[in-house]
Chains A and B, each alone.
Chain A
Amino acid sequence: MKLRGVQQTTWMSVLALAALIVIFPLVVTQSFYLTQATFAGIYAIAAIGLGLLMGYAGQISLGQAAFYGVGAYTTAVLTTTLGWSPWISLLFALLIPGLLAFIMGYTMARLSGYYLAMATLAFGIIVHSLLVEWRGVTKGASGFFGIPQINLFGYTFTQGISYYYLVWFFVVMVVIISLNIVHSRVGRALRSIHDSEIASSAMGVNTGKYKMQIFILSAMFAGLAGWLFAHMSYSISPTSFTFDASIIFLAMVVLGGSGSVWGALIGTLLIQTLGIIVHALGEQVSFITSDFEHVLYGLILMLVVIFVPRGLFPAAADGVRTISLKIRSRKVKKEKQSRLRGA
């Protein structure tokens, strides 16, 4: 049954994404760009989760990098120290961030708005401090070495084209899961919470339950991203999971648009491309350094909030829709006129 106004998952766009993913490494063969594209996929998974949390549940998380870090360190400890298979540790890299999110969500349920922002921020800092200081488990600030590669039926995913496909396979999975959630009853309930929590609870939506579920989901996505990140590199260190990383996830979501799964993905790609451009420029112009990249991130965040508060993707989608509506109405007008003339 198709209801008016009910959005459904468009398989065409998912197929288009898959096609782009398959074609990209065939066109761009330099390993530098392939590595960057692989990282983009990892960030995209975390950003999509954060986008769901922000755009659909209306909650802000300034500590998303903590879940990402917990995912990465969980798998590092399980596979390296304990020698488990990465596929078993994947389960734990999803469960432990999810469990942490559950505990946080359960205890923080009474907090909202700025208080919640503060709580997530504090959580991020606590986790980062633990990663640095809990030397017995995390090996401290110098980082964790010797993380094994992922094996599947005797095939090893090495850094490069095979890992690129592995990461983006997971991205497509995450996109499909997210789109299905967004277009389900849960998604509609979440959107109503985002628009007005009071109105939706008056309509019988259990707002607390849905917010909690989406918070856990976003943490699990971040954990998955962490798992992919850990097994891509031979080593990880706490510097990848700081407050700055949380902010970069935030920037990706804000730039692309938090009200849409595609927005987070596109935001990630744009930020990653920007990083590559700044890097390339930096090799030619001396005053463009990695600091300059931060200046740009800051500038982008400010400009987007002021000029396109909903993010680029929803704004662009609306733009396309208005233009196509205009064209259609013009066509209709012309047809009417010609019919009138004919009569």
Chain B
Amino acid sequence: MGDFFQFTLTGLTIGSIYAIVGLGFVTIYSVTKVINLAQGEFVMLGGLTMYSLSTSGVPYWLAFFITIGIVMVIGWLMEWVLIRKAKGASPISLIILTIGAAIFIRGIASMIWGKDQVRVAPFTENNPISIAGATTTPQGIWVVAIMLFVVLFLYLLIDKTLIGKAFQACSVNPLAARLMGISPNRMSSLSFTLSAALGALAGLAIAPILFPSYDMGAMLGIKGFSAAILGGLGSAPGAVLGGMLIGLFEAFGAGYISSGMKDAIAFSIILLLLLIRPSGILGEKNVGKGGL
């Protein structure tokens, strides 16, 4: 029983990260219909930028916000330089475009930061705590808290503000949105910037646990993409659910079967679930409409 609780806790922690990355996918997809496979690179950039800033003497929390700012600028640039130029390309081309961007960013990162893993200090003092026989660290709790914060923030932004209404309008019908005086281009820009911020936040939260390196983004991006697909592409609650499930599959797979096989186990279950529900768990309502 202690094992079970421990694996659940680990699964929820890592699942929260996948959920945030998945939300990044959904944010961009719902407005632009682009799957941004460079989403994981935002996470990597978040972790490594924080490392550079904090080791060069910038106060921790200042570095935290500067990091988010820098990654947001990169996200904005990516939309402005790449996605806007490729408007109207087929989904296959768009996937390839963002894969290209991901490889490019990863290559640059390996030239800047090298190939070693780096250590980033946790948010608060990091003595392990034990809850009912399972141990976790305060950073693990922070990760879950940040995920909850992101969900709440997105909910308020999308459902309760005028910008959110414009966002939804663009995802439902860009042409009609334009006739109402909303600029889809600006919304597309906003979605990339916002999504980059989510990625950076995920990177900052996970950095003290995972020890970031230049190549951490690839797998995180793939898992986040899987979370978004598993939940039903375009559905924000789906992405969170998908992320949590993948985290749990991995933790239980690693715990009960074999740690080397955890990715294979998680992806096999995802494939099986997709066979049963081809449009994802919460997909039906939202696919095509792309509502957040």
Chain A residues in the interface with B (C-beta under 8 A)? 54, 58, 60, 62, 107-108, 110-111, 113-115, 117-119, 121-123, 125-126, 129-130, 132-133, 243, 247, 250-251, 254, 287, 289, 291-292, 294-302, 305-306, 309
Contact status B100-A302, CB under 8 Å: yes
In the complex, what residues of B have CB within 8 A of residue A299's CB? 100, 104
CB of A54 to closest CB in B, whole Å: 7
Q: Mark B258-288, 1 if CB is under 8 A from A, else 0.
A: 1011011001101100110011100000000
A119–B89 alpha-carbon span in the complex (Å) = 22
Contact status A305-B96, CB under 8 Å: yes
Quick one: given A115-B274, A297-B103, are A302 and B82 in contact (CB under 8 Å)?
yes
For residue B9, CB closer than 8 A to chain A, the reply is no
Q: Give 11 CB contacts A-B under 8 Å.
A: A113-B91, A130-B264, A254-B96, A291-B111, A292-B107, A294-B104, A295-B108, A298-B103, A298-B105, A301-B100, A302-B104
CB of B51 to closest CB in A, whole Å: 18
Which of B99, B106, B108, B229 has the largest count of A CB atoms less than 10 A from its CB?
Answer: B99
In the complex, what residues of B have CB within 8 A of residue A117's CB? 35, 95
- Return the contact of A111 from the options B101, B106, B278 (Cβ within 8 A): B278
In the complex, what residues of B have CB within 8 A of residue A130's CB? 264
CB of B78 to closest CB in A, whole Å: 10
| CB closest chain-A residue, reference B260 | A133
Contact status B222-A121, CB under 8 Å: yes
A318–B145 alpha-carbon span in the complex (Å) = 56
Chain B residue total in the interface (Cβ 8 A): 44
In the complex, what residues of A have CB within 8 A of residue B175's CB? none
Interface majority SS (helix, strand, loop, mixed), chain B: helix
In the complex, what residues of A have CB within 8 A of residue B110's CB? 291, 294
Contact status B264-A126, CB under 8 Å: yes
In the complex, what residues of A have CB within 8 A of residue B222's CB? 121, 125, 243
Top-9 shortest CB links A-B: A301-B100, A298-B104, A295-B107, A298-B103, A129-B264, A122-B267, A302-B100, A294-B107, A110-B278
A305–B86 alpha-carbon span in the complex (Å) = 7
Contact status A60-B97, CB under 8 Å: no
- Return the contact of A301 from the options B92, B99, B105, B268 (Cβ within 8 A): B99
Contact status A305-B89, CB under 8 Å: yes
For residue B236, CB closer than 8 A to chain A, the reply is no
For residue B216, CB closer than 8 A to chain A, the reply is no
Chain B residues in the interface with A (C-beta under 8 A)? 35, 82, 85-86, 89, 91-97, 99-108, 110-111, 218, 222, 225-226, 229, 233, 258, 260-261, 263-264, 267-268, 270-271, 274-275, 278-280
| CB closest chain-B residue, reference A289 | B111
| CB closest chain-B residue, reference A300 | B100
In the complex, what residues of A have CB within 8 A of residue B101's CB? 298, 302
In the complex, what residues of A have CB within 8 A of residue B229's CB? 114-115, 118
| CB closest chain-A residue, reference B271 | A122
- Return the contact of B95 from the options A60, A129, A302, A306 (Cβ within 8 A): A60
A250–B110 alpha-carbon span in the complex (Å) = 22
Contact status A301-B260, CB under 8 Å: no
In the complex, what residues of B have CB within 8 A of residue A121's CB? 222, 225
In the complex, what residues of B have CB within 8 A of residue A298's CB? 100-107
CB of A220 to closest CB in B, whole Å: 22
| CB closest chain-B residue, reference A141 | B260
A115–B242 alpha-carbon span in the complex (Å) = 14
In the complex, what residues of B have CB within 8 A of residue A110's CB? 275, 278
Contact status B103-A118, CB under 8 Å: no
| CB closest chain-B residue, reference A104 | B271
Contact status B275-A107, CB under 8 Å: yes
A111–B105 alpha-carbon span in the complex (Å) = 30
Contact status B97-A306, CB under 8 Å: yes
Contact status A294-B99, CB under 8 Å: no
Contact status B100-A122, CB under 8 Å: no
In the complex, what residues of A have CB within 8 A of residue B86's CB? 305-306, 309
A121–B258 alpha-carbon span in the complex (Å) = 21
